[in-house]
Structure 1
Amino acid sequence: MNGVLPLRILQCFCSSSLLLPSALASRAPQASSAAFVTGVSRVAMSSSTPLCEGPPGSPRWLNSLHNSLASNTAPQDRFVQLGTVTADGRPAVRTVVFRGFMGEQKDWGETGAECETLSFITDSRSSKMKQGREAEVCWYFAPSREQFRLRGVMDCIEANSGMPKQAEDRVSMWRKISPAARKQFLWPNPGEERGETDEAKDKKDFDDVEPSEADPPDTFVLVLLRPERVDHLQIKGFPQRRVVYERTGDAWSEQKVNP
């Protein structure tokens, strides 16, 4: 599931840990089970994973998004819509799984840009890899009734990435995703026509595959998106609140606008 132009992978130190509210704690085992079925990584699903709050001066949208993730803990709250533009200028949208902020993967430094960088994964054979890298994520949290739209340029880290740090990031993500998610990268080419097959052949093509737990196949791509523009809409309450954030270099501005 997933797909960005070369964007510098930066680093950030994260130390705080957010736990499930007690009222939701009983749902944690269900989330763990759903993670295997849907292929959502333990990074994306674990409510006890340290979240990157960012250094002092982090944009307000980042703190708001972390608060939303902490209070909306159902498996589907990690699913977002990713919009891109095809080579002939047509819109294309699909649902992908948010795999965490790059700054929360491990102790990688203390710069804020990586804390702002969202991660996803995709197959190198998917159609989105042939599309433009300009992208927008639309993320709606139904319980808290708020929407985030995050626009930027995608950075696709493939098997032939020439930068050692990028290669390490890609391998690190591969080792964090679930066994069910790994298998998808050894499936037949996505989008290709399928002939009439029997159940036994289906099982062989889609289930009887054993990817390495340590080394990702060439089809595995790490996708990064550091937003350049964020539109945060809070529907709950009256009047509704909407704030637009824009980035120039590493500096963010924010402007309240009509909903």
Structure 2
Amino acid sequence: MDLANKVAVVTGATGGIGAEIVREFVEQGAKVLVVDLDQAQADTLAASYGSAAAGFACDVTDYAQVEAMLDAAVDNFGTLDVVINNAGVGLPKLLLEHNPAEDWELVTSVNQKGVYHGLVAAGKKFVDLGKPGVILNASSVYGQMAAEMTFVYNVSKAAVDMMTKCAALEFAPHNIRVVAVAPGRVDTPMLRQYEALGLWDHIRHEQMRAAFTQPVEIANVYAFLASDRANCINGTTVSADDGFTSFKYPLLD
């Protein structure tokens, strides 16, 4: 198994993509710290994998909690190899309807500051452990393009792409790889918000094969990037979008 004997931390681990990342990593032989805001949810998911997983509650917008999260991984499993900054939120709303005090802060704090905290804390932890490491960040196709109703989300994911590049450059001398993953339309609870807006069928067709990507498919990408087989992939954002960013919505059915 490609991830045998590796120890990983996954934030946002009880959601659609996060839960599949946990499952895929455990199946490939890794030990996983399952991280979520809700301790009970993290513990419940971790318990389903027995000794291969442990639950931990963490607010990624609080740097001290992120440090404690990484300490917990080492305390539970003896070392650390992979940190996946997966926690994220999205709140679709037209820009002209924004209340800046509300609509900027939450998304930016989780998606942008949370990844920043994960990068700094993980980089320091790997250096302290004196070993190589892999840091994987959750980006999005929206980090590369404009879209209605997702202004703050797009800005946060564009920041993730640049943080990934800059961190990879600074961490390279320590043999720490940093890569981001940019999914397209994935069938998750976050995306289901568009169902209520009557846009579900429309956004399905924005994928090249007119089908939603499943969370397990994104988890497979994370597992490969965390493995030694992906050693040459560094400082970049990997698209996992079924062609979303490569074509214009078809004029003809």
Same fold by TM-score, threshold 0.5 exceeded?
no
Query: Quick check: which one's strand share is greater?
Result: 1
Q: Which is bigger in relative contact order (C-alpha 8 A, separation at least 6)? A: 1
Specify the structure having the higher radius of gyration (Cα).
Answer: 1
